Amino acid sequence: MSTPFDQQVTFLYAEDPAPSWRFYEDVLVLDCVQDQGSCRIYAAAPGGRGFLGVCRARGPRVTDNPRVQGGAVITFVIQDVEGWHARLKAAGVEVATAPNYSEAYRVTSFFFRDPAGYTLEIQRFERPDWPAPG
């Protein structure tokens, strides 16, 4: 069965989006594919299928807990988890922990926050049943 959608965009909201825009452009090195003034959309994966939009918020954040209803964790999947950990630390990003293997999920990952407080994760699947990019 094929995926029912052609593309996917996740939107994040920040009261002051400028620091987030700089973070996604300069630290994570995502290409801005569309600047709509109050919202910028970045290519988050090759092939024009996954995007991340960062927009000006219309109100304040309700909670900092990403694991409650309405919360979010944005995960970037890449093989070089350790390299990204070093790269983010060198860029001055506060990273909570070193890359860690989760036996329960069979992934190696670490978490950090963007300037607007969103929880981000860099992750590598350590399981053969995860679909390869392509």
Span 8-38, pLDDT tens digits:
999 999 999 999 999 999 999 999 999 999 9
Residue 45: name the closest of 91, 12, 78 by CA. 78
The domain that holds 14 is classified in CATH as 3.10.180.10
Domain count, the chain: 1
Span 52-72, pLDDT tens digits: 999 998 877 777 777 666 678
Is 63 within the bounds of a domain? no
Question: Is residue 113 scored above 70 in pLDDT?
Answer: yes
Answer whether residue 132 is part of any domain. Answer: no
pTM beyond 0.75, yes or no:
yes
**pLDDT reported for residue 50:** 92
Q: Does residue 23 belong to any structural domain of this protein?
A: yes
Bridge-based pairing of strands 39-43 and 31-35 is: antiparallel
CA-closest candidate to residue 67, choices 104, 24, 111: 111
Residue 105 maps to a domain: yes
What is the domain extent for residue 78?
8-57+68-125
Residue 24 included in any domain: yes
Question: Is 89 a member of any domain?
Answer: yes
Q: Residues 6 or more apart from 88 whose CB is under 8 A from it?
A: 27, 95, 112, 122
How far from 10 is each of 42, 45, 52, 77, CA to CA, in Å? 10, 12, 5, 15
Asked whether residue 131 is assigned to any structural domain, the reply reads: no
